[in-house]
Amino acid sequence: MTETAKLADVVFPVQAQVEREGTFTSGERRVQRFYPVVAPKGESLPDFQIAAKLGAKAGIELKGGFPSLIFPQIAAEIPAYEGITYRKLAEVTEQWPIVGGGDLYYGGTSYKNEQGLGVHLALHPDGDAEPWSAGTAASKSADALLAVPVTRLYDRGATLTPSNVLEPRLSHPFVALNPSDAEAQRAADGMKVNVGVNGASAPVTVRVDETVPAGFALLPRSMGIPLDGPTEVIIQLVEVVQA
């Protein structure tokens, strides 16, 4: 189990995506089916079956036995999926680029898609724009910095941390500072400091970066630092005890 799961009172044995079948919608609005690649471990179940069992305990009937029973409900209740069937997602027709032959220059692969091309969702018709507000800007006190979370490809999340192959490539906690802010904090590149955020303190390494705006600090996500949005932080030097 992950460190987070160890803190839970109840843990549901959910199958991974590669252990079950189902559907997903990509960022290009293509709805596709996926299929199990490996056998599930132990007594784990698909998430939809667990939801159905919980619903039954609460007196709510959910069709959670198979994806083929769930998808018609999605198509009936979500307008964008209207008219799409689970069987249609498995249909295969010829599309460009032509793949499956000996010419890999244009096709990119010699394997034919025999599991379904999926369905491309239509764009929403033009209509009135929905109002949107950016909200109030984050504020900070005079002696603090405004930390902004940034994403690193190889973070220390639950997906990558267990991998012995990727572990040497994982990033380490750091704080990126503008040179003027680093000088004001008496911090140098590579120095260890403590970052105080949301009532917690975490040790990080300083990275002096001219591209960081003055008054701001960049902190990576999924590094054990509780930060999910622009937040005021305090930088404290780590005391070095000499023997």
- Kindly state the helix (H) or strand (E) to which residue 232 belongs, with its residue range: strand 231-237
Question: Per residue of the chain (243 residues), what is the pLDDT tens digit?
Answer: 777 888 999 999 999 999 999 999 999 999 999 999 999 999 999 999 999 999 999 999 887 778 999 999 999 999 999 999 999 999 988 776 666 556 556 555 667 778 888 999 988 766 677 787 776 767 777 778 999 989 888 777 777 777 888 888 888 889 999 999 999 999 999 999 999 888 888 899 999 999 999 999 999 988 878 888 888 888 888 865 455
**How far apart, in whole angstroms, are the C-alpha atoms of residue 218 and residue 149?**
6
* pLDDT on residue 104: 56
End-to-end CA separation in angstroms for the chain: 40
Predicted local distance difference test score (pLDDT) of residue 201: 86
pTM (predicted TM-score): 0.57
Distance, in Å, from the CA atom of 200 to the CA atom of 236, rounded to the nearest integer, reads: 12
If we measure between CA atoms, which residue out of 158, 220, 169, 170 comes closest to residue 195?
A: 220
pLDDT at site 107? 57
Q: Is 154 helix (H, G, I), strand (E, B) or coil?
A: coil
Determine contact, residues 178/212, Cβ cutoff 8 Å: yes
Cross-strand bridge partners of residue 195? 202, 235
CA 228 – CA 140 distance, rounded (Å): 16
d(CA 116, CA 230): 42
Nearest one of 197, 199, 191, 206 to 225, comparing CA atoms: 197
**Structural domains of the chain ordered from first start:** 3-120 (3.40.50.740), 145-237 (2.40.40.20)
Element containing residue 146 per DSSP (H, E) = strand 145-150
The Cα 64–Cα 195 span in angstroms is: 45
Kindly tell me the burial class for residue 140, based on how many C-beta atoms sit within 10 Å of its own C-beta (0-12, 13-18, 19 or more). middle
- For residue 174, give every residue at least 6 positions away whose Cβ sits within 8 Å of its Cβ, in sequence order, or none: 204, 205, 206, 207, 219, 220
